[in-house]
Amino acid sequence: MTQQNKIFALEGKVQHYQWGGFTYIPTLLSRSNDAQQPFAEYWLGAHAQAPAVLKNDGALDSFIKANPEVLGEKVKKQFGRLPYLLKVLDVKDMLSIQVHPSKKDAEKGFAAENASGLAATASNRNYKDDNHKPELAAALGEFWLLHGFRSPGSMKKMMQDVPEMMFLQNDFGEGDYQKVYSRVMEMDQDEVNKRLQPLLERILPAYEQNRLDKDHPDFWAARAAVTFSEPGKTDRGIFSVYLLNLVRLSKGEAIFQDAGILHAYLEGQNVEIMANSDNVLRGGLTPKHIDVPELMKHVSFKAVDPNILTGTPVNKGEDAFLTPAEDFELHVINLHGGQSTESKAKTVEIFVVTEGEATIEAAGSILSLSKGECAMSVAGAELTIRSLEGAELYRATVPQ
């Protein structure tokens, strides 16, 4: 890296997970998808599994290792690496019921799986790295997800309103989340089939006739059955659709998910930022590796009141979604035609243009970015961001 380089063109890595859509990310990136592959996630970070690439300077993780000063003194000392991973997601099919471990538990689990000789790429591996994975999802349009256990009152009402869930009333009592969730996650498969069959017989015809609304769990339970259940094996993740909060985000809204919070993305597109990790413990609604005992060790058995975030102004045309996470902070920059904004990079910062076109200038260098294009700036860079026609950019950084 030459001394004067403060900004770089950046290209991320597409992940073709089967739950991804076929058009949103290819259109964003101006790529064809003639093979009709699912484009699920676009990774922009320095995770060793799929590091972004700097034009003329190689993989981002290698670049940072060779030039650690680009992180800035505070981040270099606290984390020793880029602490976040930025993604764009297109959720066509529901993602798994999942939870993320704490930092301490991730370190312990990663070391244990390494010591066991389990290959880093093994499909039955729970811990891909030694890091926790708090995460924030910012909706790019209507976005649906499950997020944390319902409140006691909401849980009791659900059990009264959904006849097939009434059998859980005694387990739940006045709020025994661990008992009720252990019941549905640990029951044998024959009982899962028996308990859910009457529900599916009731809701599947309505789903197939488009008579169910997305704001009711029946819609997502039916979709889950169609997507994931196999002959003789109904997916137990369907119980979670009723036990967790169903949340709808609109564009400009976001939600934060810390360690222990059960969640599942259901449908839509978002910009997601998280600690630099790929640790996911799954409990259903997925063909991927499921480890219920390991998942249950890390679940927070408490009610959650979903906290929908909106941006807090931090600069001209720039809002931040504020969370307790030390690893990351996500900003959204909205510029009208002819507007500009100035700021100083706190660490390695990553920008992705989601609408319009913009330029980023630093130390006399100018990068022109169209929709879907990305840039990286280094700590200390004095940045001027402009747009002639208007633009929306997401900016990944650390808490200010």
Residue 135 marked in a binding site = yes
Please provide the DSSP assignment of 136-205 as one string. Answer: EEEESSSEEEEEEEPPHHHHHHHHHHSGGGGGGHHHHTTT-HHHHHHHHHHS-HHHHHHHHHHHHHHHHH
Report the C-alpha gap between 146 and 245 in whole angstroms. Answer: 5
- The owner of tokens 């993740």 is 237
Pairing mode, if any, of strands 263-275 and 312-315? Answer: unpaired
Catalytic residue (one of 81, 282, 386, 395): 282
Who's near 380: CB < 8 A, 6+ residues apart? 6, 72, 344, 345
Reading the block at residue 357, the tokens are 């076109």
Q: Is 98 annotated as a binding residue?
A: yes
- If phi over 0 gives left and psi between -120 and 50 gives alpha, with beta otherwise, what is residue 330? beta
Structure token digits, residue 98: 């999942």
Distance CA 138, CA 321 (A): 8
Residue 12 backbone class (left: φ over 0; alpha: ψ -120 to 50; beta: rest) = beta
Q: Is 282 a catalytic residue?
A: yes
- Is 382 within any annotated ligand binding site? no
What does the alpha-carbon distance between residue 144 and residue 95 come to, in Å, rounded to a whole number? 11
Amino acid at 322: L
Distance CA 315, CA 295 (A): 40
Residue count (the chain): 400
Distance CA 321, CA 400 (A): 12
Q: What is the DSSP-derived secondary structure letter of residue 289?
A: -
Q: CB neighbours of 209 closer than 8 A, spacing ≥ 6?
A: none
> Which tokens belong to 346?
């706190």
Name the residue among 164, 166, 151 with its Cα closest to residue 218: 164
CB 240 within 8 A of CB 185: no
Residues 278/132, Cβ–Cβ less than 8 Å? no
Q: What residues act catalytically?
A: 282
Provide the annotated binding site for Zn(2+).
98, 100, 135, 263
Provide the annotated binding site.
98, 100, 135, 263
